Structure 1
Amino acid sequence: MIDVPVFMDITPDAQAQELRCYLKSLGAEISQEKSPKGIEDDLHKIIGVCDACFKEGDEIVIERVLNSIVSILVLIPVERAENPILAFCEKLTKAPRYELGMVALRVGWLLFQSVDEHSPMRYHVYYHLLQLAKQVDFVRFVYKDMEHLRAQFQACPPSNEQMQKLLRLLHEVLLECKQGEQAAKVMVELLGTYTAENASQARDDAQRCILAALADPNTFLLDPLLALKPVRFLEGQLIHDLLSIFVSEKLQSYLTFYQNHKDFVLNSLGLNHEQNMKKMRLLTFMQLAEGASEMSFDTIQSELQLPAEEVESFIIDVLKTKLVRARMDQAARKVYISCTMHRTFGRAQWQQLRDLLYSWKSNLQVTQEGMKSVAAAQMEMLHQP
């Protein structure tokens, strides 16, 4: 193995010379001679064959070589750096196996952090980083939440079209990495980038948003989707009808829809019927629990169309979701409900919350007055001879 220098204390020209010689030794088609056109042409040629370093068995050496290229890249004036940066990012995404993908991801992140925060190239580097993160199933390396993402581009925000493209990819990557809840938030963010004027153009994004929310086994609060302008443009279509069922209807409504549109659910949308049934049973139970302090096993069996022997296991599954707080009494064949999450949160729920807060306020005032009376009585006793 050839010893590759760290490239910390040598000039960019000397660094490029070392890189050319090293890549040449790995069989890359590149001259060892310095380009007469200068460092930028040298860098262009080095990037063109830099993937030859993936043949090297030592990942530490590979990372040092790629980091060296980054150290030269950031010295190129920003107005001339676009093509080299894009070419280098493309090479990084071609890492042939997982371990090298992780190396490429770290190098890409170094490049992203090294590009001037006012440069529009930060967007393009980040887009390629997401592609790398998908390949190695490690999106959390580059994405924490939407607030963190916006902060990355605060000095040079992408255009609305670029942000939409980025959010579509991010949604895809998060789903691939089994982060359904984060993916749903990203899709809502994407739909929020459309205005009333162009919401009709968001048909595909709106459908993807609905589909992702329905398919995610951990997404139960679907009501906010109906308020999004692009989703409103789907009113009257089957996918909007199906969303409405998951938002506010019971299990039987879904079963009727499924019987009438089985091909649409299974083939057009690619949804899993058994998973849909499981989610609708949970949502139906939540709706039944909203107005009840207790529920019999017979009611649960009838409303949710469950075999008698599956009622208890279903209740256990409900309690695991923490959507409902309840206690099961097997002897009495009942469930005692203390509270439940609302499937929808509209005017009635806001009124209920308002009444609850006023009740708390009234109780606190009564308690305060009682404490004042107790304190006054104690002071009076202290002053008695």
Structure 2
Amino acid sequence: MSEADIVSVFAEGTFEEQIQELVNYLTRGRSDEERLAFIQPFQDALRTPEGGKPLGEDVERKRKIFAMVLAEVKGLGDGSEKEIEGFFNLLYAHLLTLYPVGSAETRTHVVTLLKTISLSPSGTPSKYRILSNLFNGIPRKSPLRLPVYNTLLEIAVSHDELDVLHISRSDVEKWTSEWDITPEEKSKFLKSIADAFAKAGQLETAYEYSLSYVRSLPSSSPDAQSAAVEAISTALRLPTIFDFDPLFKLDAVIASKSHELFSLLQVFLNGGLPEFNAWTESHPDALGKYGLEKAQLERKIRLLSLASLGFENIGRDLPYSKVAAALQVDLPDVEKWVIDVIRAGLLSGKLSQTSKTLHITRSTSRTFERAQWEALENRLLAWKTGLAGVLEVVAAAEQQNAPQVVPTAGAVDVSVQTATG
């Protein structure tokens, strides 16, 4: 739901004509007798007694009439998608005009509408559209946007159609910064999005939103501690997550340093197989407790160890024997692990079966601290020196191959004339 989707909710005609239009839609499918009985109370309410205040100037009477209409909305109604959208847009136009957006009455009416729409047994495509229209018709900072989007989210999750909403992290960050909601409501909203992606099987995306959720909580709260531990276990469990540095930037994770999983997380940030094996020996029951599989974690720590080894040897040929020793694997298995680490996007290089070496062209560092900055600085200085040498060679070659200056045709003529004279 991008800014391009924002719509202005407006209506044409007098108030009386618009109410009549809404009532006529609500009477569809009824017999003539039922229609007349249904319409009569609205006609009476719209009629201004002699000497009474004109309806156009009587806001309270307009609100009462609108409330009468709203009370009769039991579902999406009997109409095409276009007609359903038009009916609800007209409802929104009156709702957002007759009541202050921040009033308790407005919230009550919005919540009632949301419940009616979500519980309607049919018309899912129309639900997305009419709820999106309501969301975009409400001012950006209004807290009413939150329940509207929550309803959209619930419908999408229940129908396994989360992709319909096109949720993006940039939109979610913008909304939570704009909406006038409490920190608790913000945290709950972020968690609901993380849960929605998890239920949809999009676990990596769910993990990213769970980090935002942890970040939104007071680091010392019980919820934050629980969420931090869950984020750590999720990061370790997911086979595609290799970057653990963002976790160490969360206050709630740092506050959980006494937890047994925190020390395991440190192994995956800086350690290797020896440290991992030592941890599993000292915590024999921990992996099962948090749904972690030893074989999967061993694979991940091997790939990370190879990436770290590659980072230390960028631009060099790394012998298979050194790789085998670091990963604690047999020499014939080295190429398999190199292919795996390249597929994971952690390293780029070229294998040489003849020399039994891996030439490293690129590798990922697990963290970027002083040692990594110093290594990067040394590498840049080496490249700078190499480029300076190349420039010197090019300049020398250009000077050597420069064309010799020869006399022009005019100069030859002058010299001949002088000699003759």
What is the TM-score of this pair, normalised by structure 1? 0.76
What does the per-residue CA deviation read over 1:191-228, in whole Å, with 9 as the maximum and x for residues that have no partner?
Answer: 4445xxx4211212322322332233222110231232
Match of 1:261 in 2: 283
Which whole-Å CA distance do the structure 1 matches of 2:338 and 2:382 have between them?
A: 32
Match of 2:219 in 1: 199
What does the per-residue CA deviation read over 1:49-80, in whole Å, with 9 as the maximum and x for residues that have no partner?
Answer: 216x5xx7976666565555445544442223
2:209 is the counterpart of 1:186: yes
**Displacement after TM superposition at 1:105 (Å):** 2.4
Match of 2:71 in 1: 45
Check the 8 A contact 1:139/1:174 in 2, yes or no: no
Structure 1 range deviating more: 372-381 or 157-166? 372-381
Check the 8 A contact 1:188/1:209 in 2, yes or no: yes
**Displacement after TM superposition at 1:342 (Å):** 0.6
**Displacement after TM superposition at 1:82 (Å):** 0.9
Within-5 A mapping of 1:153-302: 156-194=179-217, 198-201=218-221, 202-266=224-288, 268-292=289-313, 293-296=317-320, 299-300=323-324
**Displacement after TM superposition at 1:345 (Å):** 1.2
* Residues paired across the two proteins, number: 364
Match of 2:167 in 1: 143
The SS at the match of 1:339 is: strand
Match of 1:15 in 2: 21
Computing the radius of gyration from Cα coordinates, the structure with the larger value is 2
The SS at the match of 1:221 is: coil
Match of 1:4 in 2: none
Within-5 A mapping of 1:342-357: 342-357=365-380
Check the 8 A contact 1:12/1:72 in 2, yes or no: no
Which whole-Å CA distance do the structure 2 matches of 1:127 and 1:384 have between them?
A: 86
Which whole-Å CA distance do the structure 2 matches of 1:57 and 1:332 have between them?
A: 74
Q: 1:84 aligns with which of 109, 114, 132?
A: 109
**Displacement after TM superposition at 1:234 (Å):** 0.5
Which whole-Å CA distance do the structure 2 matches of 1:137 and 1:72 have between them?
A: 31
Check the 8 A contact 2:311/2:362 in 1, yes or no: yes
Relative distance call for 1:352 and 1:304 in structure 2 (3 A) is: closer
Which whole-Å CA distance do the structure 1 matches of 2:154 and 2:404 have between them?
A: 76
**Displacement after TM superposition at 1:340 (Å):** 0.9
AA paired with 1:128? T
Check the 8 A contact 2:320/2:331 in 1, yes or no: no
Check the 8 A contact 1:137/1:176 in 2, yes or no: no
Within-5 A mapping of 1:64-75: 69-75=91-97
2:361 is the counterpart of 1:338: yes
Relative distance call for 1:357 and 1:94 in structure 2 (3 A) is: farther
AA paired with 2:68? D
Which whole-Å CA distance do the structure 1 matches of 2:30 and 2:274 have between them?
A: 69
The SS at the match of 1:254 is: helix
Which whole-Å CA distance do the structure 2 matches of 1:90 and 1:240 have between them?
A: 43
Match of 2:151 in 1: 128
**Displacement after TM superposition at 1:341 (Å):** 0.5
Which whole-Å CA distance do the structure 2 matches of 1:340 and 1:108 have between them?
A: 47
AA paired with 1:145? R
Check the 8 A contact 1:324/1:339 in 2, yes or no: yes
Which whole-Å CA distance do the structure 2 matches of 1:375 and 1:295 have between them?
A: 40
**Displacement after TM superposition at 1:107 (Å):** 2.4
Check the 8 A contact 2:348/2:362 in 1, yes or no: yes
The SS at the match of 1:318 is: helix
The SS at the match of 2:361 is: strand
The SS at the match of 1:231 is: helix
The SS at the match of 1:344 is: coil
RMSD: 3.9
Question: Percent identity over the alignment?
Answer: 21
AA paired with 2:296? Q
Check the 8 A contact 2:311/2:363 in 1, yes or no: yes
Relative distance call for 1:236 and 1:382 in structure 2 (3 A) is: farther
What does the per-residue CA deviation read over 1:298-328, in whole Å, with 9 as the maximum and x for residues that have no partner?
Answer: 843x654557776544432222122110223
Which whole-Å CA distance do the structure 2 matches of 1:284 and 1:95 have between them?
A: 54
